[in-house]
Amino acid sequence: MTTLETPGPTVGVVGGGQLGRMLAEAAAPLGVEIVVLDPTPECPASLVARDQIVADFDDEAGIRELAERADVLTFEIELADQTVLERVSNDTGTLVHPKPSTLETIHDKLVQKRELEAAGVPVPPFREVSDADDVRAAIDDYGAPVMLKARTGGYDGRGNVPVESKDETEEALESVAGPAMVEAFVEFEREVSVIATKGYGETATFPIGENVHEEEILRETIVPARSSDAAAERAREVATDVLEVMEGRGVYGIELFEVAGDDAESEMLLNEIAPRPHNSGHWTIEGAHSSQFEQHVRAVLGWPLAATDLRNPTVTANLLADVDQERAAALHNVERIHETPAAHLHWYGKREARPLRKMGHVTVCARDDETGVEELLETARSLEEDVTFRS
């Protein structure tokens, strides 16, 4: 039996952006307090968390203070420093979940792909590249285009550059500006993701979601994905295999390419992994019996995981800043969202709007068995188009 004292357990979170904010929102009903560490004063999570430590993501003194105030540490951004986290954990005895070793694997996409391939997880053809000649050789072998990826520092599509021809190799390498790898371009039916949780002696997966990207930025997630039952099951199997490779408890956002096979059955190829709650799992707040954020809190504390069943078909559309340059953020034209009974607005509280920055999201859920995902997608897009962030 779990007994909660007042105050209850505290989870220290490196990162206080929108994910930290939603973690704090999910933790409060569980009797769990959240303290975040973030370099931005009055970061989005600070409005709902117990407290904020203002420090950089690799600030050892700040992370040590966070560990001393928490029962367990976690992170909501890949910029957390795994070496510092491990050292602080060893010194203070405060555990980190997912483990710093997993963060180290995730930080280098080439290492990540090699470890997953060795474990039998299906991945696109890939290789390390050091210069333009290596990229051109990859084009000879894989065909054009290829996807050039920064090995470190990129997440949520950052650092990914499609190379359409050999003439573009030098410019592409300059834009990546650091160690790189190349992947064969995948002709996929759709991009999907599985939000999977590794708990204390158990795992759980949410239903497969279909993701729509533009300019390498996630725009919409559709649940259930417009995939066959067999494809959805295959995605769940691959996600479960990925969890076997990852070390430490928590939620993992697992992005996959659904590719049509020779026998008309879809195969799933791993794209990328986020060792944290993921943008493509925001639909779970209203669309599932538990959210990815509640699951993450439960998992890192070693508590039993909650049910992940789909409540109703659900579509989430990201609200991106419609500005040409950075400016103070102001939220406008959300009246229709409030007037739509099955629509839910999430405003992240970011103070600055930058071009295409994720400022919030809107989720639309089916209210009856007759409402399909196509209708939900049309509604979500219509509501998203109204919203502006110009001050």
Q: Are residues 203 and 148 in the same domain?
A: no
Q: Are residues 235 and 366 in the same domain?
A: yes
Residue 89 domain-assigned?
yes
Annotated ligand binding at 213? The verdict is yes
Q: What is the pLDDT of residue 244?
A: 96
Task: Say if CB 353 and CB 327 are below 8 A apart.
Answer: yes
Residue 306 domain-assigned?
yes
Q: Are residues 148 and 295 in the same domain?
A: no
The CATH number of the domain where 178 resides is what? 3.30.1490.20
Task: Say if CB 13 and CB 36 are below 8 A apart.
Answer: yes
**Mean pLDDT throughout 379-387?**
95
Q: Are residues 264 and 300 in the same domain?
A: yes
Residue 391 has pLDDT above 70, yes or no: no
Q: What is the pLDDT of residue 4?
A: 56
> In the block, which residue shows the tokens 């994910």?
19
Q: Distance between CA atoms of 71 and 36, rounded to whole angstroms?
A: 13
Structural domain including 282 reads 190-386
Annotated ligand binding at 257? The verdict is no
Name the range with the highest mean pLDDT among 53-67, 315-329, 377-391. 53-67
Q: In terms of DSSP bridges, do strands 10-14 and 72-75 run parallel, antiparallel, or are they unpaired? A: parallel
Annotated ligand binding at 338? The verdict is no
- The CA-CA-CA angle for residues 104, 108, 110, to 5°, reads 130
Residue 263 has pLDDT above 60, yes or no: no
**Mean pLDDT throughout 50-66?**
98
Residue 1 has pLDDT above 60, yes or no: no
Annotated ligand binding at 184? The verdict is yes
Q: Are residues 88 and 131 in the same domain?
A: no
Q: What is the pLDDT of residue 390?
A: 72
Annotated ligand binding at 113? The verdict is no
Q: Are residues 335 and 232 in the same domain?
A: yes
Q: What is the pLDDT of residue 273?
A: 94
Annotated ligand binding at 185? The verdict is yes
The CATH number of the domain where 63 resides is what? 3.40.50.20
Residue 40 has pLDDT above 70, yes or no: yes
- Rounded to two decimals, what is the model's pTM? 0.94
Residue 379 has pLDDT above 70, yes or no: yes
Of 96, 117, 136, the one marking the end of a domain is: 96
Q: Are residues 177 and 194 in the same domain?
A: no
Task: Say if CB 138 and CB 129 are below 8 A apart.
Answer: yes
User: What is the 3-state secondary structure of 318-379?
Assistant: EEECCCCCCEECCCECCHHHHHCCCEEEEECCCCEECCCCEEEEEEEECCCCCCCHHHHHHH
**Mean pLDDT throughout 266-291?**
96
Residue 316 has pLDDT above 90, yes or no: yes
Domain count, the chain: 3
Q: What is the pLDDT of residue 178?
A: 84
**In percent, how much of the chain has pLDDT > 90?**
87
Of 184, 203, 227, the one marking the end of a domain is: 184
Half-sphere exposure of 295 (CA within 13 A, CB side): 32
Average pLDDT, the chain: 93
**Mean pLDDT throughout 121-129?**
96
Q: What is the pLDDT of residue 368?
A: 87
**Mean pLDDT throughout 68-83?**
95
Q: In the numeric block, which tokens belong to residue 140?
A: 């000879």
Q: Are residues 341 and 285 in the same domain?
A: yes
**Mean pLDDT throughout 40-49?**
96
Cβ neighbors of 6 (< 8 A, separation 6 or more) are none
Summarised one tens digit per residue, pLDDT across range 148-186 is 999 987 655 567 899 999 999 999 999 988 899 999 999
**Mean pLDDT throughout 214-233?**
94
> In the block, which residue shows the tokens 């050292």?
87
Summarised one tens digit per residue, pLDDT across range 184-195 is 999 999 999 999
Question: pLDDT band at residue 6, thresholds of 50, 70 and 90?
Answer: low
**Mean pLDDT throughout 313-325?**
95
Q: Are residues 171 and 51 in the same domain?
A: no
Cβ neighbors of 52 (< 8 A, separation 6 or more) are 16, 35, 36, 37, 38, 41, 42, 43, 45, 46
Residue 261 domain-assigned?
yes
Annotated ligand binding at 183? The verdict is yes
Question: pLDDT band at residue 198, thresholds of 50, 70 and 90?
Answer: very high
Annotated ligand binding at 191? The verdict is yes
